[in-house]
Amino acid sequence: MGIRTVAVYSDADENALHTRVADTAVRLPGATPAETYLRGDLIVKAAVVAGADAVHPGYGFLSENAGFARAVLDAGLVWIGPPPEAIEAMASKTRAKELMGIAPLGEVTGADLPVLVKAAAGGGGRGMRIVRRLEELDGALEGARAEAASAFGDGEVFVEPYLGGDAHGRHVEVQVLADTHGTVWTLGTRDCSLQRRHQKVIEEAPAPGLDSRITSELYEMAERAARAVDYVGAGTVEFLVSDGTAHFLEMNTRLQVEHPVTEAVFGVDLVALQLRVAEGHALEKEPPRARGHAIEARLYAEDPARDWAPQTGTLHRLAVPDGVRLDTGYTDGDDIGIHYDPMLAKAVAHAPTRAEAARKLSGALERAAVHGPVTNRDLLVRSLRHEEFTAARMDTGFYDRHLAGLTAPAPDPYAPLAAALADAHGRSRFGGWRNLPSQPQVKRYASAGEEHEVRYRHTRDGLAADGVRVVHADGRLVVLEVDGVRRTFDVARYGDQVYVNATALTALPRFPDPAAQLAPGSLLAPMPGTVVRIAEGLTDGAFVEAGRPLIWLEAMKMQHQITAPATGTLTALHVKPGQQVEPGMLLAVVQENRS
């Protein structure tokens, strides 16, 4: 559009992609959100110093903060978003519900359960807790308040009935776009039911299987919400659809992460339209017609099999086949840190039908090169191919029911051999063969918690292995013929980490390190982060019960509990509040009481 851009960046994001590609960049000293991206005064100052004339708030941090919007306007800058009064009315979920005539719960009793504790200023699943037993309520309130204050600078929370997976609810939303001339577009529906920790994983447009009655009802309520606050710009009205009834959840007064699926279906650029609306241009009276179906999958640096623990480290390579849209903030070689959301990219497929879009996206993700920390890529592929998803019978309880099956290890049985043959390429001092029969070479690899030992030989015809024919082998490509069928393996190695197609392997030493043994009951940090809390009274010698939360870690804006693995005695506590920890670091030791 010919518009020059100014990026703001924290110290942790000094070399981030958005910092590198912007025309100008301004530093926000510090690394935590509270020091940087939640400091509206610093961001306004950066805009003024850089000579900017407008501020786009993105879709996180201060994007729904009315005070920030006012500060932008007071500085003489254009605010690319709704009026502060509209943000104020809708950004707090408690006030939004009052505006729509819905009251949150007052006193919670056993008859109300289950309930959901939610951050009033929240989003992205942060500051949310499901409470199924009354005795869990106080702890849920405390945890939600702390997480909300850290992520949004506002610790207000409220309680509402929980209508999640138990009620087979679907998370459906409507994209709205409004100008300053009285036009409000409702740009179709989106289904965002596949969620983990109340944060969306897979989204699609339009929401499948909705009848015309409920679709019309959703459009009507979305437009009514927008007009009620004289909305301007892009926004989203979210609903829970259960048993044929739509329950209003909230209005997000910002651009949504999942906006690309709407863009694909309607053939529009929502960010460009945001800018045009902010410049005072009028929308057409009617929105474009919808065409086809689009599905988006969020690629996260996290381990779904380990309670969705976020992962850090170097992203060596990220490449998705042509034909799908990839929105990402990372390039090859970038570091994934501990401070912010673990989302690496969004992959979006558009096709004439839903089935084609799902097939297109799952195939592209399966063939993608994702080399670095553990990701949810395999989970995404399996989710898109799951019978409940393909039949459009999914709801917000999808991962509660199916996570174990979706994360079961399924490494390619020939990946370790391909890794060994690629590593062996060119290593022989004798030109790759001997006159006498050679002894088998042995290599060991770990994958998905299992150890694999492979054997191969150097022969006068090249590398060989029992049960397969080695058609080709070099450092990057191995072709094997198995039962008459040729299979191709792309191999990449970074130190001890080896990637063979979609299988990640760790090359093991010939002999295990005896120093790596740990005492039974050792609690290790599952991720890098900061110790934000230690259980009250937790000292060496304390009695603990199995499952009791002992240590709270904060990583990537979310809190994670480290619980006692067994009932027994805490024999060692190695950390204290405020301490930074790395993955695998020993936090504490619990000696099980076997009496």
Query: Which residues have a catalytic role annotated?
Result: 254
What is the DSSP annotation of 225-262? HHHHTT--EEEEEEEEEETTEEEEEEEE-S--TTHHHH
Contact 229, 250 (CB under 8 A): no
Taking a C-beta distance cutoff of 8 angstroms, is the pair 100, 248 a contact?
A: yes
DSSP 516: G
Give the DSSP letter string of 293-337.
Answer: EEEEEEEESEEGGGTTEE--EEE-EEE--TTSEEEES--TTEEE-
Grouping H, G, I as helix, E, B as strand and the rest as coil, residue 76 is coil
Tokens 């610790």 sit on residue: 155
Tell me how far apart the alpha carbons of residues 374 and 308 are, in angstroms, rounded to a whole number.
Answer: 10
Q: How far apart are CA 110 and CA 113, in angstroms?
A: 6
Q: How many residues belong to the chain?
A: 595
Pairing verdict, β 54-55 and 78-79: parallel
Distance separating alpha carbons of residues 512 and 502, to the nearest angstrom:
26
Burial of 458 (0-12, 13-18, 19+ CB in 10 A): buried
Q: What single string gives the DSSP state of each residue in 518-551?
A: --TTEEE-SSSEEEEEE-TT--TT-EE-TT-EEE
d(CA 184, CA 228): 12
Q: Are 525 and 511 in contact (CB under 8 A)?
A: no
Backbone angles phi, psi at 330, to 5 degrees: -130, 150
In angstroms, the Cα distances linking 269 to 11, 39, 276, 285, 303 are 31, 29, 11, 17, 33
Cα dihedral 63, 67, 69, 70, rounded to 10, equals: 180
Written in H, E and C, the secondary structure of 467-494 is: CEEEEEECCCEEEEEECCEEEEEEEEEE
C-alpha separations of 49 from 11, 40, 68, 77 in Å = 19, 14, 17, 12
Instruction: Please answer whether residues 145 and 376 qualify as being in contact, where contact means their C-beta atoms are separated by less than 8 angstroms.
Output: no
Classify the C-alpha dihedral 263-269-274-276 as positive or negative.
negative
| Separation of alpha carbons 80 and 69, rounded Å | 9
